[in-house]
Structure 1
Amino acid sequence: MAEPLPVILCGKTEKIGETVIATLKPEFEVIHFVMTPESGAVQIPALLRGETDVPFDSELGSKDYSRGIAAIILGGGYEDAGIYLMREAAKGIKSVPWLRPDLSKPAPPLGPEYGKAMVERIKVTVKELQDKGTMSEDAMVYY
């Protein structure tokens, strides 16, 4: 089996984050969990630059920064302004896909089932990016 892809997960709550992290395994390893756009605007650029002494506001994530970042996964609680803030801060550092939920698609209410449904969509989307050879492109991709 291939090594799990190292990803940054951005979520508003650790409770949903825990479920998402567990469900993303074994295909993905969440190495860092970002809880606010403001902290993401500091932490994500540092991680994309390969820094390892990065501040964090959550204990979630493996904190194993040795393999870099393959993708940034955004939860449904992040709005346009917050995403823009983080993307602008990270602009031009390293090209990775930013995965954002398509909120027009049906999903369960917030809770464990919501996280599981989002993970299935993430896995399908990343597989499509890998098949197309576009995992190293800086793009906003909806899942």
Structure 2
Amino acid sequence: MRSVKEISAGGVVYRRENSQVKILLIEDRYSRWTLPKGKKEPGETDQETALREIEEETGIRGRIQKRLETIRYRYFHPNHGDISKEVHYFLVEAGAGSVTPQLSEITGAAWFSPEEAWRKQQEEGYDNNDGVLGQAYQHLGIQAE
């Protein structure tokens, strides 16, 4: 088996509700709370992928505010072998739409206060997203913790 490179994009989606910030997290098929993301399609920019995947997974349309960070990691897929994964994350302000999780891809999606989102990330998320969420909080003027 050969090594395969997979590129994805997604984001930290936020909205302001009565001067309070809310953060959108998804619950993936492994029961982990994480950030919405998905595979890049041919001809798409990273930004287009992020916005499309966020809308497909959660029903929320958004606007990119800032590029956050690119995460790189490797994993083994039983059918495809060694996968080199690259995920481009953006800070995305929620626009139209209501949360309607695409249940074929994820098991849930919900808005959380920054404190709740950080706690879920620490306890039930993926370690490589700590920096992404931290950067988003810094840009939004939110204390992480």
User: TM-score interval w.r.t. the shorter chain?
Assistant: under 0.3
The structure with higher relative contact order (CA 8 Å, sep 6+) is: 2
Q: Which has the higher strand share?
A: 2
Q: Give me the TM-score of the superposition, normalised by structure 1.
A: 0.27
Q: Which has the higher helix share?
A: 1
Structure with greater Cα Rg:
2
